[in-house]
Amino acid sequence: MAKDGSVIIVGGGIAGLAAASKLGEAGFSVIVLEARDRVGGRIFTRRERGDSSVEFGAEFIHGLPPEIWEPVQENGLGVNEVEGESWCASDEGILPCRFFREVESILEKMDDSSPDESFLDFLKRRFPNPKHDSREEEIKQRAIRYVSGFNAADPAQIGVHWLVQSTRAEVGIQGHRAFRLKGGYEGLLDIFRKRIADKDIKVHTNCVVERVSWQKGAAEVTTHSAEQTHSISFKARYLLSTLPLGLLKAPVGEEGAVQFAPQLPAGKLGALDKLEMGEVIRVTLLFRDRFWDAICPPPERDKPLSEMSFLLSQDEWFPTWWTAMPDKAPMITGWAPFRSARRLSGQNSSFVVEHALSTLGKLLGMNSSDLKDRLTGAYFHDWQKDPFARGAYSYGKVGGHGAQQALGAPVENTLFFAGEATDTTGHNGTVHGAIASGYRAAGEIVRAAG
Per-residue confidence (pLDDT) for residue 331, from 0 to 100: 95
Give me the pLDDT at residue 1, please: 30
Alpha-carbon distance values, 335 to 281, 369, 397, 435 (Å):
6, 21, 22, 24
318: helix, coil or strand?
A: coil
Cα separation, 375 vs 285, in Å, equals 7
pTM value is 0.96
CA dist., res. 384 & res. 341, Å (int): 9
Secondary structure in 3-state letters for 240-270: EECCCHHHHCCCCCCCCCCEEECCCCHHHHH
Asked if residues 170 and 65 have their Cβ atoms less than 8 Å apart, the reply is no
Would you list the domain boundaries of the chain? Answer: 6-43+185-275+398-449, 45-63+80-84+278-380, 100-172
Per-residue pLDDT of the chain (450 residues; tens, 9 = 90+): 333 569 999 999 999 999 999 999 999 999 999 999 999 999 999 987 666 789 999 999 999 999 999 999 999 999 999 999 999 998 888 999 988 999 999 999 999 999 999 999 999 999 999 988 988 999 999 999 999 999 999 999 999 999 999 999 999 999 999 999 999 999 999 999 999 999 999 999 999 999 999 999 999 999 998 677 778 999 999 999 999 999 999 999 999 999 999 999 999 999 999 999 999 999 999 999 999 999 998 766 788 999 999 999 999 999 999 999 999 999 999 999 999 999 999 999 999 999 999 999 999 999 999 999 999 999 999 999 999 999 999 999 999 999 999 999 999 999 999 999 999 999 999 999 999 999 999 999 999 998
Cα 432 to Cα 247: distance, rounded to the nearest angstrom: 20
- What count of Cα atoms within 13 Å lies in the side-chain half-sphere of residue 322? 20
Side chain identity, residue 234: F
Among 239, 241, 280, 268, CA closest to 395: 280
Strand-pairing partners, residue 259, are 211
pLDDT of residue 327: 93
pLDDT of residue 120: 98
CATH of domain 45-63+80-84+278-380: 3.90.660.10
- CATH among 3.50.50.60, 3.30.930.10, 3.40.1160.10, 3.30.565.10 for 6-43+185-275+398-449: 3.50.50.60
